[in-house]
Amino acid sequence: MPPDRNDLPTSADVLCAAQTVSGTVHRTPLIRSQLLDQLGGANLWFKCEHLQKVGAFKARGATNALSLLPQGTELVATHSSGNHGAALAWAAAERGLPCIVVMPETAPETKRVAVEGYGAKIVTCGPSLADREAALQKVVQETGAHIVPPYDDSRIIAGQGTVAVEIVQQCREHGITPDVIVAPVGGGGLLAGIGLAMAALAPDILVIGAEPAGADDAQRSLRGGVHITTQEPHTIADGLRTTLGRRNYKIIRRTVRDIVTVSENGIVRAMELLWTRTKQMVEPSAAVGLAAVLEHGARFRNKNVAVVLTGGNMDVSKVSKLLAGVEKEQ
């Protein structure tokens, strides 16, 4: 049974999604770094989703969602200032389906170029979440487009979880089983998907979320047992400024061991280490997993730790600013 987007996805939906997305998205490599192992005091296995289609794991969820559209869907739409918009535009183009992406006028030029490059139509709106939602509703009313949300959606959660299925397979090819999987959490599509995957495939593997201390709604939700739905994020990790989705919260409560927070300095340091030591151009949000290992060393000591590098899309002309710890990219 395909997951209904109004229900919670199951572990089986993730395993099914792994079949669905295989061949369309990349099986991204798992890389290592002796120096980072030494610094982290652990055996680190980096899953390279910055080398995924559209440069982010979001290609997985978008691909899975588009394989499960209601019959007769002729147009899809979303709102996004980040990787989900590009991923949906790309996945729609792969299926020959038209796509509209509502983007705030403040969205980085690079993201607009990416979405247009995949052939989607951009509708520009004001910068607030309310502006975006209103603009998206207007699109739906005028066009009948089917909405594919960025994270609070069963198809998306199941799709993002496929990364964990690959991690376990690839680690097995190296003769090991990870003790822990660490993934950044923003809206929680990735973390919930990984939690579901591991609950079925390898319940002994701890799933730990990592988020900026300046956007710690997920940690507070999980630890306090009450879903926090508003926050004023302060972090350079632009992909993690959103609050946890409803479905995501419910799944994470059940399947994720803990969520740890990291400092802004820790994110910058981890990003610079990834750039200089692995030569991989990851975006700030993607460095949050390594930052967690470095700032919470005791939890990971001598373990096999899989760390998801979530994406590699950023305005490279602003790299120096990022390294100087400037909060907002734009």
Which residues between 20 and 59 bind a copy of itself (CB under 8 A)?
A: 29, 50-51, 55
CA 199 to chain centre: 19
- Total residues interacting with a copy of itself, rule: CB under 8 A: 22
Least distance CB 290 / a copy of itself (angstroms): 15
Provide, rounded to whole angstroms, the least separation between the CB of residue 60 and a copy of itself: 17
Among 282, 294, 307, 308, indicate the residue that binds a copy of itself (CB under 8 A): 282
CB contact at 8 A, 325 and 306: no
Which of 19/276 has CB closer to a copy of itself? 276
Regarding 72 and contact with a copy of itself (CB under 8 A), the answer is no
Q: Which of residues 196-255 bind a copy of itself (CB under 8 A)?
A: none
Kindly tell me the burial class for residue 272, based on how many C-beta atoms sit within 10 Å of its own C-beta (0-12, 13-18, 19 or more): middle
Q: At closest approach, how far in Å is the CB of 272 from a copy of itself?
A: 6
Least distance CB 254 / a copy of itself (angstroms)? 34
281 near a copy of itself, rule: CB under 8 A: yes
Cα–Cα distance list, 49 to 135, 263, 284, 317 (Å): 30, 23, 13, 22
Question: Which CB sits closer to a copy of itself, 177 or 276?
Answer: 276
- The stretch among 1-9, 136-144, 268-276, 290-298 that binds a copy of itself (CB under 8 A) is 268-276
Cβ density class 84-100: b for 16+ within 10 Å, e for less: bbbbbbbbbebeebebb
Binding mask 288-327 for a copy of itself (x = CB under 8 A): ------------------------xx--xxxxxx-xx---
Of the candidate residues 137, 143, 231, 280, the single one contacting a copy of itself (CB under 8 A)? 280
Q: How far is the CB of 35 from a copy of itself (least distance, A)?
A: 9
Query: d(Cα 328, Cα 188) in Å, to the nearest integer?
Result: 21
Is 123 one of the binding residues for a copy of itself (CB under 8 A)? no
The site map against a copy of itself for 78-117 (x = CB under 8 A) is --------------------------------x-------
In the chain, what's the furthest Cα-to-Cα distance? Answer: 56
Closer CB to a copy of itself, 222 or 282, in the complex: 282
- Among the residue ranges 131-139, 151-159, 258-266, 273-281, the one whose residues contact a copy of itself (CB under 8 A): 273-281
What type of residue is 154?
S
* 3-class DSSP state of 273: helix
The least CB distance from residue 222 to a copy of itself, in Å, is: 31
Please list, in sequence order, all residues whose beta carbon lies within 8 angstroms of the beta carbon of residue 209, skipping any fewer than 6 positions away.
182, 183, 184, 185, 188, 191, 218, 219, 222, 252, 256, 258, 259, 260
Cβ atoms 274, 257 nearer than 8 A: no
Rounded Cα distance, 22 and 43, in Å: 27
CB of 287 to a copy of itself, least distance (A): 13
Query: Element (H or E) spanning 63, and its range?
Result: helix 58-67
Instruction: Indicate whether 329 belongs to the interface with a copy of itself (CB under 8 A).
Output: no
Determine contact, residues 6/246, Cβ cutoff 8 Å: no
Is 279 among the residues that bind a copy of itself (CB under 8 A)? yes
Rg (CA), the chain: 18
CA distances from 63 to 22, 26, 131, 328 (A): 10, 11, 27, 30
- Encoded amino acid at 198, one letter: M
Give the residues lining the site for a copy of itself (CB under 8 A): 29, 50-51, 55, 110, 272, 275-276, 279-282, 312-313, 316-321, 323-324
